[in-house]
Structure 1
Amino acid sequence: MSTASVDRRTRRRQQTIDEILDVSIALMETEGVAALSLSAVARQLGMQPPSLYQYFPSKLAIYDALFQRGAEQFRDAQRKAVADVPVEQQLAHGIAAFGRWCMANQVLSQLLFWRTVPGFEPSPEAFAPALEVMADVQSHLQEAVESGRLREGAASEDGLALLTSMTAGLLSQQLANEPQASFEDGRYMKLIPVVLEMFFHHYAPTRGTAT
């Protein structure tokens, strides 16, 4: 078999995988994240359910691929948001990108940030982009510590947990109460600057001491 034939088969296979994931998201939007049905996915694609197993061995495998897709998209959106802004603004821009992406991708957000599917745990490969995001945020916090804008501890595991819990809490409230609102108009999303101010106040450098 020629290299061109192999490439065509690889492209067709990837196109089918992408279609399966797109249909899965659409079904999860209407039926609920945990209610995904392989039979329903196959019907939407016009294939027999056994054919689906040529691409995904189980429903959990589809969830895993969706988790990785979402984590990669989220990571890329956050990195793009901070690429061309001053260092001292990167944390705020990154968190805003988090909220904006989640509002635009609510199904994937539920899969990434809440345990909506009983028994599902992302594979290490799928989870890797999410770890990169956390490392990026921790790096922004560390920069703020080193520049004297935050005191030691802000970039610790506890500091990171506090910041992500506060921002995820706003997102949870937003999606629960105003899922149709835009990021700009969302009542809870508008509180992101307040949350950041609270975090910076909590980790404000001690007066008269060097960081």
Structure 2
Amino acid sequence: MLGTPTQTWQDRRRAAARREVLAAAWEVARRDGLGGLTLRAVADRVGMRPPSLYTHFASKHALYDAMFRQAWSEFDERFAALELPADPRAAVHGIARFYVDFALADLPRHQLMDQRVIPDFTPSPESYAPSQRAMERMVGRFRALQGVALAEADVDLFVAAVGGVVAAQWSNDPGGDRYTRLLGRLVDLLADDLGLPTTTPREDP
């Protein structure tokens, strides 16, 4: 006897429509800026009348919320699959490089994930959960490294320092490498502060 389907065709159609709307929203954000995103522009992008769009997203902030959740879910999924070298110092370099490359690949996505550029927007608990999961995963991978005794302040320092490289790169040399080329030196300074042995060549002599 066949079991009861867990998802109807209407559910699948609605989910597909939401994915299409989200993809269009990112395209509009890349074209007009995150703050320039409008539901009308997104509706035009997918060939939908604005009232129909409201059946999927009740407001622009609801759309931002879904975009925030999608971005952090993608980050967490990719980070979970990231293979790190056994050498602790090299692994710290790998974690830093992964974040910087992800953050510099898409400006609107980075702004929504890591900066407060949308007035009065606060992600819902459901959408905030993937970002918490990603941070917990990062801390867990740090603590799994041999010889790393990680305190909360160490995590804060790493996030602030590596995030600063991203911010400086986007602000002063988008598309270049003026600041990202210094990432290796920065991570070595952080690794020195954590007391990690130098067992691999430094990235930026």
SS state of the match for residue 56, structure 1?
coil
Identify if the C-alpha distance between structure 1 residues 92 and 136 changes in structure 2 by more than 3 Å, giving closer, same or farther: farther
Identity of aligned residues (%): 27
SS state of the match for residue 96, structure 2?
helix
1:76-119: per-residue Cα shift (whole Å, max 9, x none)? 2222223x632624332122111111222221111000001011
Q: Which amino acid aligns with 2:91?
A: Q
Distance 1:74 1:162 in 2: 20
Distance 1:128 1:96 in 2: 23
Q: Which amino acid aligns with 2:152?
A: E
1:31-52: per-residue Cα shift (whole Å, max 9, x none)? 1111211111112222221111
Distance 1:193 1:53 in 2: 46
Q: Give runs of ≥4 in structure 1 deviating > 3 Å.
A: none
Q: TM-score, normalised by structure 1?
A: 0.82
In 2, are the aligned partners of 1:99 and 1:171 still within 8 Å (CA)?
Answer: yes
Q: How does 1:58-97 map to 2 (within 5 A)?
A: 58-82=59-83, 85-86=85-86, 88=88, 89-97=90-98
Gaps of 5+ in 2: 197-205
Q: Which amino acid aligns with 1:119?
A: D
Residue of structure 2 aligned with 1:169, choices 156, 161, 164? 164
Q: TM-score, normalised by structure 2?
A: 0.85
1:162 CA displacement: 0.6
In 2, are the aligned partners of 1:34 and 1:118 still within 8 Å (CA)?
Answer: no
1:7 CA displacement: 3.0
Distance 1:180 1:21 in 2: 25
Structure with the bigger RCO (C-alpha within 8 Å, sep 6+) is 2
SS state of the match for residue 86, structure 1?
coil
In 2, are the aligned partners of 1:77 and 1:97 still within 8 Å (CA)?
Answer: no
Residue 15 of structure 1 corresponds to 16
1:143-200: per-residue Cα shift (whole Å, max 9, x none)? 34xx33x4x4xx222111110000000001111223224xxxx221222211111112
Q: How does 1:29-48 map to 2 (within 5 A)?
A: 29-48=30-49
Question: What do you get for the CA RMSD once the two structures are aligned?
Answer: 2.1
Residue 180 of structure 1 corresponds to 175
